[in-house]
Amino acid sequence: MQLCQDQEPRVSDAIFRTKGITKVYKTGDVAVYALDGVDLDLYEGELTVLLGPSGSGKSTLLNILGGLDHATTGQVWFADTELTLMSDRELTKYRRDHVGFVFQFYNLVPSLTALENVQLVTDVSPNPMPAADALELVGLGKRMDHFPSEMSGGEQQRVAIARAIAKQPEILLCDEPTGALDSTTGVQVLEVLRDINERFGTTTVVITHNAEIQRMAHRVIFFQDGKISETRINETRLAPSEIVW
C-alpha cells in the first residue's frame, strides 16, 4: 500500500505529469518516433516555453497534452485524472472545459466576426467570461464586428488568444503563436499571453522557434529528436518588450 502510493505522481503541485510517452507514426515500413519517451512535470500557474528544432516533437506533445491526440504508449495526467485512459468523448469534454488553444495560423472561422469567433467558444464552455470582455483583454474592443479578412495577422492572433482565454481555461496551449508575425506584433501577442498568465494564473505552454522568448518563461524545456534534452528554470524573467527579436 505504502509502496503504491509512493509510485503515484505527486498530484498536489504538478498540473501536468507525463510518464514515458511515445508517439509513433507509421508511414509505409518506416516508423517515425515523434515522441520517444517524454517524462515531464508542468506546474500550476507557470509559463513554460518549449524550444527545439523543427520535427523534434513539440507540436505532438502539445497536442497530446491538449487532448487533441493520443499517445502511442505512456501516461499523461491532468491534475489527478489520467488523459491517456480517456475516450474521445471524454477528451472532447476535457478540451471544452479546461483547455485553450492558440495556433500558429490563427485558425479563425472566416465567415464569423471577431466577436462571433470568440462566441464559438463561450457558447459551449461551462464558465466563460463575456466574449466582448475577452476581446477587450487583448485590446480589440473596438474591432469586435470585423471579419478576419479585415484584420492584420497580429490582430487575428489576438482574436485567437481572446477565443482561447474566453472560457477561462486552466491551461493555455500556444503552438508558435508568433510564428507568422513580425517582431512588434509578436511582442504585443506575447504581452497579452504574459498578462493573462499573471492576471488569472493560467498555466501556459508556448512553443516557439525564437530562443529569445525563453527569457520571459518560468520554465524552459528543450526538445531534441522526440526527447527532452534539457529543462531550465529562469530565476529572473524579462518582460516581452525587453526581448530582442
Ligand X SMILES: Nc1ncnc2c1ncn2[C@@H]1O[C@H](COP(=O)(O)OP(=O)(O)OP(=O)(O)O)[C@@H](O)[C@H]1O
Q: Of these partners, Mg ion, ligand X, other proteins, none, which one is at the site of residue 123 (CB under 5 to 8 Å by kind)?
A: other proteins
Smallest distance from other proteins to CB 101, Å: 5
Cα distances from 242 to residues 33, 69, 83, 164, 221, in angstroms, run: 37, 35, 37, 25, 21
223 close to 62: Cβ distance less than 8 angstroms: no
Question: How far is 72 from 21, CA to CA, in rounded Å?
Answer: 7
Among 15, 21, 34, 161, binds ligand X (CB under 6 A): 34
Using CB under 6 A, which of 17, 18, 51, 58 touches ligand X? 58
- No. of H helices and E strands in the chain? 7, 10
Member of 14, 24, 68, 238 binding other proteins (CB under 8 A): 68
Per CB under 5 A, does 188 bind Mg ion?
Answer: no
How far is Cα 53 from Cα 37, in angstroms, rounded to an integer? 17
103 binds other proteins (CB under 8 A): yes
Does residue 117 bind ligand X (CB under 6 A)? Answer: no
Using CB under 6 A as the binding rule, whether residue 59 contacts ligand X is answered as: yes
C-alpha cell at 86: 480517456
Binding positions for Mg ion, 32-91, rule CB under 5 A: 59
Cα gap 243→237, rounded to integer Å: 10
Please identify which residue in 17, 58, 95, 219 interacts with other proteins, judged by CB under 8 A. Answer: 95
Q: Is 54 in the site for ligand X (CB under 6 A)?
A: yes
Burial track 110-141 (b if 16+ CB lie within 10 A, e otherwise): eeebbbbbbbebbeebeebbebbebbebbebe
> Could you say which of Mg ion, ligand X, other proteins, none residue 36 binds, taking C-beta under 5 to 8 angstroms by partner kind?
none
Query: Strands 219-224 and 14-27: what pairing?
Result: unpaired
Binding site for other proteins (CB under 8 A): 63, 66, 68-69, 88-89, 92-93, 95-97, 99-101, 103, 105, 107, 109, 111-112, 116-117, 119-121, 123-125, 163-164, 167
Binding site for ligand X (CB under 6 A): 25, 27, 32, 34, 52, 54-60
